[in-house]
Amino acid sequence: DQQVKQNSPSLSVQEGRISILNCDYTNSMFDYFLWYKKYPAEGPTFLISISSIKDKNEDGRFTVFLNKSAKHLSLHIVPSQPGDSAVYFCAASNQAGTALIFGKGTTLSVSS
Amino acid sequence: DGGITQSPKYLFRKEGQNVTLSCEQNLNHDAMYWYRQDPGQGLRLIYYSQIVNDFQKGDIAEGYSVSREKKESFPLTVTSAQKNPTAFYLCASRGSTGARSYNEQFFGPGTRLTVL
């Protein structure tokens, strides 16, 4: 049973517009969430994170929103750029904080 | 430069052979991890180690083995018992050096294993 779900396998956005990537989780004990970006045949790189005590965290063009009651988080990229085209993984920290649980990823395509 | 290295980038093996994937880090991180990625799938945890000479099974440990004799190294052996070993394997480490966020894991470039 998937504990972290990214229900949209893909998303296409025009350059300059907003990209919104969504993530849902089922385990209410998760208390830390991270977003990773991954290019083909490379390792994921960390983008941004949020603690469960916050509802928003911003870093440049990237903002993550957390809705604990809905067990939902989203990553906003504004403005989107062609270099943002990649697979984005949502990850949650387990109760012991020792490992990350990943979603299946969303492939973002930004066209110029 | 500090980071994680995995070798080789591509690996081919015949069915029934054991193969060992290398993972080295010079970040002085205590924790290390092995994940497997299949097409359309997320990263699934195989094994992890919080400290030298100690490791725990992840969600899909069957058919794999690891060792952690040194802090810098966490090799993964894919044994002949692994039913479907062809995949992209990723090693990661976690610690305070270079981290911008609690629980951030740093990933290596990955090894693509193909079993013929």
Residue of chain B whose Cα is closest to the Cα of A48: B101
Please give the structure tokens belonging to residue B77: 């052996």
Judge: B105–A102 Cβ closer than 8 Å, yes or no.
no
Report chain A residues whose CB lies below 8 A from the CB of B33: 99
Q: B44: burial class by Cβ within 10 Å (0-12, 13-18, 19+)? A: middle
A105 touches B: beta carbon within 8 Å? yes
A30 touches B: beta carbon within 8 Å? no
B113 touches A: beta carbon within 8 Å? no
**pLDDT tens column, A58-88:** 999 999 999 999 999 999 999 999 999 999 9
Contact A109, A10 (CB under 8 A): yes
Separation of alpha carbons B113 and A80, rounded Å: 34
**pLDDT, tens digit only, all 116 positions of chain B:** 669 999 999 999 998 899 999 999 999 999 999 999 998 888 999 999 999 999 999 999 999 999 999 999 999 999 988 989 999 999 999 987 778 777 889 999 999 999 98
Contact A20, A75 (CB under 8 A): yes
Q: What is the pLDDT of residue A2?
A: 85
Half-sphere exposure of B8 (CA within 13 A, CB side): 7
User: Does residue A97 register a pLDDT over 80?
Assistant: no
B89 touches A: beta carbon within 8 Å? no
Nearest Cβ partner for B58 among A49, A99, A103: A99
Judge: A103–B108 Cβ closer than 8 Å, yes or no.
no
Residues whose CB is less than 8 angstroms from the CB of residue A55 and which lie 6 or more positions away in sequence, other chains included: A65, A66, A67, A68
Q: What is the pLDDT of residue B85?
A: 93
B98 touches A: beta carbon within 8 Å? no
